[in-house]
Structures are given as C-alpha cells and as structure tokens.
Amino acid sequence: MKTVAEPQRSRKSAALWSLGFRPFFLAASAWAVAAIAVWPPFFTGDLVIPTAFSPVDWHVHEMIYGYGSAVVAGFLLTAIPNWTGRPPVVGRPLALLVGLWGMGRIAVFFSAAMGWLLAASLDAAFLVIFAVVAAREIFAARSLRNLKVVVLVLALAVANACFHAEAAERGTATISTRAGLSVIVFLILLIGGRVVPSFTQNWFARKNIATRPAPFGKPDGAVMFFSAVALALWVADPDRSATGALLLAAGAANLWRLSRWRGWATWPDRLVLVLHVGFFLASLGFLCAGAHALKPELVSSAAAAHVWGVGAIGAMTLAMMSRATLGHTGRALVASPATQLIYLGVIASMAARVAMEFLPALAAPMMYGAAIAWIGAFAGFLAVYGRMLAGPKRPQPGR
C-alpha cells in the first residue's frame, strides 16, 4: 500500500526530469557552491585534491567547462523545443545527459589517480554528446538558422579537450582557458543580444511605455562579427597592441548596442534590469582585456578575465536561471528581495576578486571575500529556486 509521501516523491521525480533546465540548473548551482568552497584552501595548499590539474587550472576548468557547460545545456535543452516545435529531451535521456556531466566532474576531480587521458575522455564526452543531441533536434525540425548554437557548443567541446591536452603537455592551459571563456562570452553576446531587448520590450509594453528597444538587426550582426574577431585574436595573442585596440573597439560597440535597449528605464523591474547588467559586464570585459593588452601595468589579465568570468557570466547565468525557473514553473516574473540579494552577491564577488588585483596586500582576504559572496549567491539560488526546480509546475488560475 502506497503512503501519501510516495505519490508526492513520484511527482517530484517526474517534474525534475520534465525539462532540461530543472536538473541542469540545480546541478550547476550546487557545483558553483561546492567548487568555490574548496577553491581557496586548495589554492593556498591547505587542501589537497587528487586532480592532475594545477589548482588554478582546476578552478578555471570547473567554472568554465563544469558550471558553464551545465548552464548552457540547461538553457538550450529548454530553448530548442521552442525554436523547433519538437518535444523536449526528457526522462531517461535527460538523466543520462546529467549523469555524463556529473561523471566529468568526478573524472576531473580524481584525474591524478585515473590518468589525464582517461579523465579527459570521460569529461569530454558530455559536451560532444550534448552537441549531437542538439544538432539532431535542429536538423529534424529543419531549423538550420539555429545551428550556430550547436557550432558554439562544439567549439566549447573542442576547447575543453584542448584544455586537458594543453595542461598535460605544458603544465598550464592558458590558451584553452581563453578559448572556453571566449565561447561563453560570445554566447552571452548572441543569446543576450536577442533576449535582453525582447524581454525589455515586453516590459515596456506592459507598462505602456511608447519607446521601444532597438531589435536585433544588421548593425548588431556586424558588432557580433567584430566581437568574434576580437575574441579570436585575444585567444591567439592577448598581449599584442592590435588585439588590445580591437578589444576596446568591440567593447565600445557592444556598449552602443546596450544603449539602444534603454536598460535604465527598467530599474523598477530587477528581473529585466539584471539582464542589462550582465550584458554591460560582458562589454566591460572587452574594455578591461583591451586595456591590459595596451597597458598591462594598469590592468592585469586576471582582472579582465574575472570581469567576464565572475561578473558577466555569473550575473547573466543567474539572471537567465532565475527567470526561466519562474516562468517555466508557473510563478510570477518578479525578482523577490531574496533574488535581488542573489544578484548583488555575484556582483560583490566580482568586485572583490577584481579589487584583489589592485590591492595585493589584501589579496588573501579579498579572495576569501569573493568566494564567500559567490557561495552566498548560489546557495541563495538553491534555497529560493531549488524547490521550484525539483517540484511540479504550479497550476495556472482557472485551469
């Protein structure tokens, strides 16, 4: 005889595997907490992790290819059915994808014991198979204009494989770090460049504001191409003056795009405003990377990388995860006070980590402060959104 709790657990289990954003956003945020919790003591030598990577490479890899790939997968597995009209990947196939991602985290963590090649193979499997799944859905629907996201997932998969090889060969993976970071930044420019003005326009329409943000057009496409060239040069030769000039120009061009979306008018709606903040930080990252190339004594490469890695990626992913969770679970699209604190936490983490580069005497407390703020933001996300992600969709009124 079934207890009352058994049907409830069954419904929760079914809900968890009903759309890609649910398990992947849960896994990504949990890993964002766990990986940063062990990072400072691992970096200082107070904790030993049985990974073949150096402390810095493990940290970078697990933020870009661990956390980042999970958020990308959760977003795309939820968005692709809307783009193609096909049923979403759910149930056992979705669980297998999440399992592959988790296997990669375990393999990288224990890579010193199992050997870098086996660990690399296990870790690389997730992004490759996910790209195949996404491509199948897009080809089946003949939605070829969306193939660009599959190309970017494949680029991330290649960069991940190169990361392992570069770290094994050279002892550090600086080129593959820049490559992975560049792919995710470009995804922010591509997807953010469409959803930020779209969600802003929806909010303006609800508030009866006559002016509208500029929609994606040929000028945006030109800026995207220019940004891709700047990022490619940054990956290949980050310290060249020409690279710095192009990065500065790309940053200014993306700020121009952002200015056309009238983000300042969305101040009352923090759920929309934070999308503009994330895009602003992506643009600012270009400016910081360009400034480093031209004046390395003024701006360190780490400062630029963390404006992108902590600020832009942290803010934009939390913005998209919170918005998607609210919308797809039947909640109102409103940023609660707790949600606003989550956003502030990740921005505070970026500020502390960047300040660490300018205040070397305070490097240790700044590093721990950045870690605490980041952990607070993602632990807060789990506390506020975890039940929504794991539980059934809230029924709509009148249904």
Answer whether residue 399 shows pLDDT above 60: no
Rounded distance between C-alpha atoms, residue 323 and residue 313, angstroms = 15
Whole-prediction pTM: 0.93
Report whether 141 contacts 67 (CB < 8 A): no
CB atoms within 10 A of CB 335: 20
d(CA 241, CA 143): 40
| 388's tokens | 């929504």
Per-residue pLDDT, 61: 97
Q: pLDDT tens digits for 139-198? A: 998 888 889 999 999 999 999 999 999 999 999 999 999 999 999 999 999 999 999 999
- Please say whether the beta carbons of 381 and 341 come within 8 A: no
Running DSSP on this structure, what letter comes out for residue 213? Answer: P
List pLDDT tens digits, range 58-96: 999 999 999 999 999 999 999 999 998 999 999 999 999
- How far is residue 358 CA from its own chain's centroid? 26
Q: Say yes or no to pLDDT of 398 above 70.
A: no
CA pair distance 30, 27, nearest whole angstrom: 5
Q: Quick check: 328 and 78 in contact, CB under 8 A?
A: yes
Q: Which residue has the tokens 């859905």?
A: 137
| DSSP labels, 306-339 | HIIIIIIHHHHHHHHHHHHHHHHTT--S---HHH
pLDDT at 394: 79
pLDDT digits (tens, 9 = 90+) for 347-376: 999 999 999 999 999 999 999 999 999 999
Any idea which residue has 């970078």 for tokens?
60
**pLDDT band for position 13 (cuts 50, 70, 90):** low
Q: pLDDT at residue 397 above 80?
A: no
* CA–CA separation, 152 and 228 (whole Å): 11
Is 6's pLDDT higher than 80? Answer: no
